[in-house]
Amino acid sequence: KMINELKNDINNGNINHAYFLECNDEKKALEEARSFASEILGKSIDNNPDCTIFLTEEKTIKVESIRDLQKDVAIKPLMCQKKVYIIPYAEKLNISAQNCLLKTLEEPPSYAVIILISSSIYSVINTIRSRVKRIRIKSEDGIHIDSDVKNIIDSIGSKSVIDVLKFSEYFEKNKDNIIEILHEMMKY
Protein backbone atom coordinates (compact mmCIF):
# COMPACT_ATOMS: atom_id res chain seq x y z
CA LYS A 1 0.00 0.00 0.00
CA MET A 2 2.76 2.41 0.91
CA ILE A 3 4.57 1.98 -2.38
CA ASN A 4 1.24 2.57 -4.18
CA GLU A 5 0.84 5.93 -2.41
CA LEU A 6 4.37 6.86 -3.40
CA LYS A 7 3.81 5.65 -6.99
CA ASN A 8 0.77 7.93 -7.15
CA ASP A 9 3.04 10.83 -6.19
CA ILE A 10 5.35 9.89 -9.07
CA ASN A 11 2.51 9.42 -11.59
CA ASN A 12 0.92 12.72 -10.62
CA GLY A 13 4.24 14.54 -10.78
CA ASN A 14 3.88 15.42 -7.11
CA ILE A 15 7.09 13.99 -5.74
CA ASN A 16 7.83 15.64 -2.43
CA HIS A 17 11.33 16.82 -1.69
CA ALA A 18 11.33 14.82 1.56
CA TYR A 19 9.63 11.73 2.95
CA PHE A 20 9.72 10.11 6.37
CA LEU A 21 9.11 6.36 6.31
CA GLU A 22 8.00 5.27 9.76
CA CYS A 23 8.09 1.55 10.50
CA ASN A 24 8.95 -0.72 13.41
CA ASP A 25 10.84 -2.89 10.92
CA GLU A 26 13.43 -0.46 9.61
CA LYS A 27 14.92 -3.12 7.31
CA LYS A 28 11.55 -3.47 5.60
CA ALA A 29 11.30 0.32 5.40
CA LEU A 30 14.76 0.43 3.79
CA GLU A 31 13.61 -2.11 1.18
CA GLU A 32 10.55 0.06 0.48
CA ALA A 33 12.73 3.18 0.26
CA ARG A 34 15.08 1.44 -2.20
CA SER A 35 12.09 0.40 -4.31
CA PHE A 36 10.66 3.91 -4.21
CA ALA A 37 14.05 5.41 -5.14
CA SER A 38 14.19 3.09 -8.17
CA GLU A 39 10.72 4.28 -9.18
CA ILE A 40 11.75 7.94 -8.82
CA LEU A 41 14.94 7.47 -10.81
CA GLY A 42 13.36 5.19 -13.39
CA LYS A 43 16.21 2.70 -13.04
CA SER A 44 17.96 0.54 -10.50
CA ILE A 45 19.67 2.31 -7.65
CA ASP A 46 22.50 -0.25 -7.60
CA ASN A 47 25.71 1.52 -8.63
CA ASN A 48 23.63 4.56 -9.54
CA PRO A 49 25.49 7.81 -8.80
CA ASP A 50 22.16 9.60 -8.34
CA CYS A 51 21.20 7.56 -5.28
CA THR A 52 23.01 7.69 -1.96
CA ILE A 53 22.17 5.54 1.07
CA PHE A 54 23.70 6.68 4.36
CA LEU A 55 24.54 3.53 6.25
CA THR A 56 26.68 3.85 9.34
CA GLU A 57 27.85 1.61 12.13
CA GLU A 58 28.35 4.65 14.34
CA LYS A 59 25.97 5.46 17.20
CA THR A 60 25.21 8.87 15.69
CA ILE A 61 25.13 10.54 12.30
CA LYS A 62 27.21 13.65 12.74
CA VAL A 63 26.93 17.06 11.14
CA GLU A 64 29.94 16.35 8.89
CA SER A 65 27.97 13.61 7.12
CA ILE A 66 25.10 15.99 6.47
CA ARG A 67 27.51 18.65 5.20
CA ASP A 68 28.82 16.05 2.73
CA LEU A 69 25.21 15.39 1.70
CA GLN A 70 24.69 19.14 1.15
CA LYS A 71 27.79 19.32 -1.07
CA ASP A 72 26.47 16.41 -3.11
CA VAL A 73 22.97 17.90 -3.32
CA ALA A 74 24.50 20.98 -4.98
CA ILE A 75 25.66 18.78 -7.88
CA LYS A 76 22.99 18.09 -10.50
CA PRO A 77 22.05 14.48 -11.29
CA LEU A 78 24.39 12.60 -13.61
CA MET A 79 22.16 9.87 -15.09
CA CYS A 80 18.59 10.67 -14.02
CA GLN A 81 16.22 13.59 -13.63
CA LYS A 82 16.35 13.32 -9.82
CA LYS A 83 18.80 12.49 -7.06
CA VAL A 84 17.65 10.45 -4.06
CA TYR A 85 19.21 10.38 -0.60
CA ILE A 86 18.10 7.67 1.83
CA ILE A 87 18.91 8.10 5.51
CA PRO A 88 18.04 4.93 7.46
CA TYR A 89 17.97 5.12 11.26
CA ALA A 90 17.19 8.84 11.24
CA GLU A 91 17.10 8.67 15.04
CA LYS A 92 20.91 8.54 14.82
CA LEU A 93 21.04 12.12 13.53
CA ASN A 94 22.42 14.24 16.35
CA ILE A 95 20.88 17.68 16.91
CA SER A 96 23.61 19.49 14.96
CA ALA A 97 23.12 17.12 12.03
CA GLN A 98 19.33 17.60 12.18
CA ASN A 99 19.69 21.39 12.16
CA CYS A 100 22.12 21.16 9.25
CA LEU A 101 19.73 18.88 7.34
CA LEU A 102 16.95 21.35 8.00
CA LYS A 103 18.70 23.91 5.80
CA THR A 104 18.53 21.49 2.88
CA LEU A 105 14.90 20.64 3.59
CA GLU A 106 13.95 24.32 3.67
CA GLU A 107 15.48 25.13 0.28
CA PRO A 108 15.93 21.89 -1.65
CA PRO A 109 16.86 21.91 -5.32
CA SER A 110 13.99 20.67 -7.49
CA TYR A 111 15.83 17.47 -8.37
CA ALA A 112 16.61 16.31 -4.80
CA VAL A 113 14.49 13.84 -2.81
CA ILE A 114 15.45 12.94 0.76
CA ILE A 115 13.98 9.85 2.42
CA LEU A 116 14.37 9.51 6.19
CA ILE A 117 13.64 6.18 7.89
CA SER A 118 12.97 5.50 11.55
CA SER A 119 10.60 3.63 13.82
CA SER A 120 9.24 6.95 15.08
CA ILE A 121 8.84 10.32 13.40
CA TYR A 122 9.29 11.79 16.87
CA SER A 123 12.96 10.83 16.76
CA VAL A 124 13.64 14.02 14.78
CA ILE A 125 13.04 17.64 15.69
CA ASN A 126 9.67 19.23 15.03
CA THR A 127 10.96 21.50 12.27
CA ILE A 128 12.09 18.47 10.26
CA ARG A 129 8.77 16.69 10.91
CA SER A 130 6.93 19.69 9.49
CA ARG A 131 8.87 19.52 6.21
CA VAL A 132 8.49 15.85 5.31
CA LYS A 133 5.65 13.73 4.03
CA ARG A 134 5.07 11.04 6.64
CA ILE A 135 4.40 7.52 5.39
CA ARG A 136 3.61 4.81 7.94
CA ILE A 137 4.52 1.26 7.01
CA LYS A 138 2.99 -1.55 9.02
CA SER A 139 5.30 -4.40 9.80
CA GLU A 140 3.92 -7.82 8.95
CA ASP A 141 4.01 -9.06 12.50
CA GLY A 142 2.36 -5.95 13.93
CA ILE A 143 3.61 -3.69 16.66
CA HIS A 144 6.50 -4.97 18.72
CA ILE A 145 6.25 -3.86 22.29
CA ASP A 146 9.00 -4.69 24.70
CA SER A 147 7.57 -6.92 27.44
CA ASP A 148 8.85 -4.55 30.14
CA VAL A 149 7.02 -1.62 28.50
CA LYS A 150 3.83 -3.71 28.24
CA ASN A 151 4.10 -4.66 31.94
CA ILE A 152 4.58 -1.02 32.91
CA ILE A 153 1.53 0.08 30.93
CA ASP A 154 -0.62 -2.78 32.19
CA SER A 155 0.27 -2.11 35.82
CA ILE A 156 -0.06 1.68 35.82
CA GLY A 157 -3.81 1.59 36.40
CA SER A 158 -3.61 -0.88 39.27
CA LYS A 159 -0.65 0.55 41.18
CA SER A 160 -0.18 3.53 43.42
CA VAL A 161 1.89 6.49 42.25
CA ILE A 162 4.79 5.35 44.42
CA ASP A 163 4.73 1.89 42.83
CA VAL A 164 4.68 3.44 39.35
CA LEU A 165 7.69 5.62 40.21
CA LYS A 166 9.66 2.43 40.79
CA PHE A 167 9.62 1.99 37.02
CA SER A 168 12.00 4.94 36.81
CA GLU A 169 14.88 2.44 37.05
CA TYR A 170 13.76 0.91 33.76
CA PHE A 171 13.60 4.33 32.11
CA GLU A 172 16.99 5.32 33.52
CA LYS A 173 18.55 2.09 32.22
CA ASN A 174 17.01 2.68 28.77
CA LYS A 175 17.35 6.46 28.58
CA ASP A 176 19.07 6.30 25.18
CA ASN A 177 15.87 4.80 23.74
CA ILE A 178 13.35 6.87 25.69
CA ILE A 179 11.67 8.39 22.62
CA GLU A 180 11.07 4.96 21.11
CA ILE A 181 9.80 3.60 24.44
CA LEU A 182 7.37 6.48 24.90
CA HIS A 183 6.24 6.14 21.32
CA GLU A 184 5.56 2.42 21.83
CA MET A 185 3.67 3.24 25.02
CA MET A 186 1.50 5.71 23.11
CA LYS A 187 0.77 3.11 20.42
CA TYR A 188 -0.12 0.50 23.02
| 34-51 residue pLDDT tens | 999 999 999 999 999 999
Query: Cα–Cα distance between 37 and 112 in angstroms, integer?
Result: 11
The residues, any chain, with a CB within 8 Å of residue 102's CB and separated by 6 or more, are 125, 127, 128, 131
Alpha-carbon torsion 173, 179, 180, 183, what sign? positive
What residue type is 156 in one-letter code? I
pLDDT recorded at residue 116: 96
C-alpha span between 137 and 29 (Å, rounded): 7
Lowest mean pLDDT among 20-24, 140-144, 162-166: 140-144
Residue 121 reports pLDDT greater than 80 = yes
Q: Which residue has the higher pLDDT, 127 or 159?
A: 127
pTM above 0.85, yes or no: no
**73 membership: H or E segment, kind and range:** helix 63-73
pLDDT at 150: 64
